[in-house]
Structure 1
Amino acid sequence: MSLLKRLFGSKPAPAPTDLGAPRPLQTTYVVGDIHGRADLLQKLLLQIDADRADDPEAVCIFLGDFVDRGEHSGAVLDHLRARQSETPATFICLMGNHERMMLDFIDRTKERGQRWLRNGGLQTLASMGVSGITESAAPDRLMAARDQLLDLTEPSMVDWLRTLPTQWNSGNLVVVHAALDPNAPPADQSDRTRIWGHRDFLKRPRQDGLWVAHGHTITDQPQCVASRIAVDTGAYYSGTLTAAKISPAGTVDFLHT
Structure 2
Amino acid sequence: MMFFKKRKKALPSFEAELAPDVPFFAVGDIHGSDQLLQNLLVKLTDVAHPDAMLICVGDYVDRGEDSAAVLQRLYEMHSQSGGLMECLMGNHEHMMLNFLDDPVRHGSRWLRYGGLQTLASFKIAAPRGSSVADAEWMQVRDAFKGALGADLEDWLRNLPSQWITGNVAVVHAAADPELPIDGQDRSTLLWGHPEFDKKPRRDGTWVVHGHTIVDSAVSVDGRISVDTGAYATGKLTAALVEKAKVTFITA
Whether the TM-score (by the shorter chain) exceeds 0.5 is: yes
Pairing 1:27–2:23 present: yes
Counterpart contact for 2:99–2:106, Cα < 8 Å: yes
Structure 1 residues 135 and 104 mapped into 2: Cα distance closer, same or farther (>3 Å)?
Answer: farther
Give yes or no for the alignment of 1:112 onto 2:106.
yes
Equivalents in 1 of 2:129, 2:93: separation in Å? 18
Partner of 2:165: 170
Q: Please list the CA deviations of residues 195-245 of structure 1 after superposition, one character each: whole Å capped at 9, or x if unmatched.
A: 111111011111111100000011111110011000001000100000001
Please give the alpha-carbon distance, in whole angstroms, between the structure 2 residues aligned to 1:18 and 1:98.
Answer: 30
Deviation at 1:88, TM superposition (A): 4.2
Alignment of 1:46-65 (within 5 A): 46-52=42-48, 55-65=49-59
Q: Which letter does structure 2 place at the counterpart of 1:145?
A: V
- Give the Cα–Cα distance (whole angstroms) in 2 for the partners of residues 139 and 126 of structure 1: 20
Question: Take 1:224 and 1:115, find their aligned partners in 2: how far apart are those partners?
Answer: 32
2:235, 2:250 within 8 Å by CA — same for their partners in 1?
Answer: yes
**C-alpha distance after superposition, 1:155-213 (max 9, x if no partner):** 01100000000000001100000011000001111111111111110111111111000
Q: Using the alignment, how far apart are the partners of 1:219 and 1:81 within structure 2?
A: 27
Aligned to 2:248: 254
Shift of 1:123: 0.3
Change (3 A) 1:49 1:210: same
Q: Check 1:135–1:78 CA distance in 2 against 1; reply closer, same or farther (3 A cut).
A: farther
Q: Give the Å deviation of 1:109.
A: 1.0
2:14, 2:204 within 8 Å by CA — same for their partners in 1? Answer: no
TM-score, normalized by length of structure 1? 0.89
Secondary structure of 2:212's partner? coil
Q: Do the aligned residues in 2 keep the contact of 1:44 with 1:241 (CA within 8 Å)? A: yes
Secondary structure of the equivalent of 2:26? Answer: strand
1:143 aligns with 2:135: no
Return 5+ residue gaps in structure 1 as ranges: 1-16
The answer to whether the 8 A contact 2:215-2:228 is kept is yes
Distance apart, 1:128 and its partner CA: 0.8
Total equivalences in the alignment: 238
Which residue does 1:196 correspond to in 2? Answer: 191
Structure showing greater Rg: 2
Q: Who is 1:101 aligned against?
A: 95
- Give the Å deviation of 1:135: 7.2
- 2:33 — aligned with what? 37
Contact 1:117 1:135 in 2 (8 A): no
User: Greater CA deviation, 140-149 or 71-80?
Assistant: 140-149
SS where residue 79 of structure 2 aligns? helix
1:69-90 CA deviation, whole Å, 9 max, x = no partner?
Answer: 0000000000000000011411
Q: List aligned pairs for 1:48-87, cutoff 5 A.
A: 48-52=44-48, 55-87=49-81
Q: TM-score, normalised by structure 2?
A: 0.92
- Cα distance in 1 for residues equivalent to 2:68 and 2:79: 17
Structure 2: gaps of 5 or more residues: 1-12
The aligned counterpart of 2:8 is none
Post-superposition shift, 1:132?
Answer: 4.3
Whole-Å separation in 1 of the counterparts to 2:14 and 2:97? 41
